[in-house]
Copies of this chain bind each other. A is one copy, B any other.
Amino acid sequence: MNRKTSSADRIREKKKLFLDREQSIIDAALELFLAEGIDRVTVSKIAAAVGIGKGTVYKHFLTKNEILLRIMIDYERNITNCLAAGIIKAENGDSGAAAKGYFEARLARPELDRLVQQLEVRLADAEDIAGQMDELHDIRRSNEESLHGLMSDLIGKDILEDVPPHFHYLACWALAQGAVELWFNKSWNYRTDTKELMEFISNIGVTMGNRGQYHNVDSSKVGDQ
């Protein structure tokens, strides 16, 4: 019986190793993208970075694009989690917590957020993975939905402007998106006050759409990641 167990163990271990490798590929790809730019990363390079053969990569992913997509989805899931935490806080009375959590998540690793933005552009017209793209969209829309109740609530309490609830979320999305681009945009890169700037923008994100927002907010508490 020991035998059997240890054999099953081995198989399990093997599978784990296999899955770990999958993560290694993603991690290596991510790192390379961050370090060298999307264009300059080839499947060969990724494989070399992981220390495996090119063919092995294709055991895990059907396409190069699938790797990129997977990076995006992983990232989006992370955002979702942070947002969910913020929503809970918000439901406990801290009305700005959701937006705050969202901005913190998006700006936690801005270079990663930026990368994901760029990946999205590349993958927009990719015909392989067109189907899998939906998974990404679904995650985003589920974010939207999970905010719907909170938003409606805050609108009802006259805290938020009375517009379709998702407007508030999408405005946050847009501002975060732009903030990240601002962070890395070469035109503004010469600045050294990025951190303060991002706090300023986060504050805007947290309070924008609020009715009379600048009265009750202690802005010193916002954005202190």
Contacts and interface: CB of A to CB of B under 8 A. Distances in A.
Interface of A: 37, 39-40, 96, 100, 103-104, 107-108, 117-118, 120-121, 124-125, 133, 136-137, 140-141, 161, 163-164, 167, 170-171, 173-179, 181-182, 185-188, 193, 196-204, 206-215, 217, 219, 222-225
B100 A137 contact: no
A177 B114 CA distance: 13
Nearest to A94: B221
Given A175-B175, A177-B177, A207 B200 contact: no
24 contacts: A37-B124, A40-B125, A96-B217, A100-B222, A104-B225, A108-B225, A136-B187, A141-B187, A163-B196, A167-B197, A170-B182, A171-B197, A175-B175, A177-B177, A177-B182, A199-B222, A203-B217, A203-B219, A204-B204, A206-B217, A207-B214, A207-B217, A212-B212, A212-B214
A100 B212 CA distance: 19
A188 to B, nearest CB: 6
Q: How many copies does the complex hold?
A: 4
Contacts of A181: 117, 174, 177-178
Interface of A is mostly: helix
A211 B167 CA distance: 22
A167 to B, nearest CB: 5
Contact of A173 (B117, B125, B178, B198): B178
A96 B215 CA distance: 12
Contact of A175 (B174, B212, B225): B174
